Amino acid sequence: MANITFNKLDEQEYARFRADVKGIFSIAVIETFGNQVGQEEIIPDDDIDHSLYDPQCETLAVYADGEKVGGVVVKIDSQTGISWLELFYVYPDKHGRGLGLRIWQSLEKRYPDTKVWRLITPYFEKRNIHFYVNKCGFKIVEFFNEAHRDPSRPSGGSDFHDEYFIFEKVME
């Protein structure tokens, strides 16, 4: 079993993190919608930067036995006990080895005061949906779509950006 560790990133490391997020998140979009979707449309820099530069967020590189295997941004609210998994990725060549679950379990231990974890994932990300619901114990608590818009986000039309789930895990 891999020893999971985290290393907090400095601002000068954000460009590499952003590139990793864009590249890895584009895989499922291209698999689902084809190559006609441009990488800029998949996840804009502004969306990533919103998390990277949020003072409540912590951006971490993830290591398994000393080898970098991915990254994560978490937003921890110690007042409410509600934390958000803003961004989380594991390099594709590391998939299928149980690392995602071990990383998640390590995050839970890293933030023991969190009472509720929340995250967003697109409707078409079957691998993510399986992972969060069946492996990590999250529940889907809301589905935003054309008939049920997220009031906190501007609508950009009816593309894949407007259809996503809110997941929640209540810690015991």
Domain containing residue 134: 4-170
Q: CB under 8 Å to 60, separation ≥6 — which residues?
A: 6, 7, 8, 9, 71, 72, 73, 74
Model pLDDT, residue 157: 47
* pLDDT band at residue 161 using 50, 70 and 90 as cut-offs: low
Tell me the three state secondary structure of residue 166: strand
What CATH number is attached to the domain comprising 77?
Answer: 3.40.630.30
On the question of pLDDT at 160 being above 70, the answer is no
Q: How many domains does the chain have?
A: 1
Convert the pLDDT of each residue in 87-135 to its tens digit. Answer: 999 999 998 889 999 999 999 999 999 999 999 888 778 888 899 999 9
**For 22-42, what is the mean pLDDT?**
68
pTM: 0.85
Question: Cβ(89)–Cβ(61) under 8 Å?
Answer: no
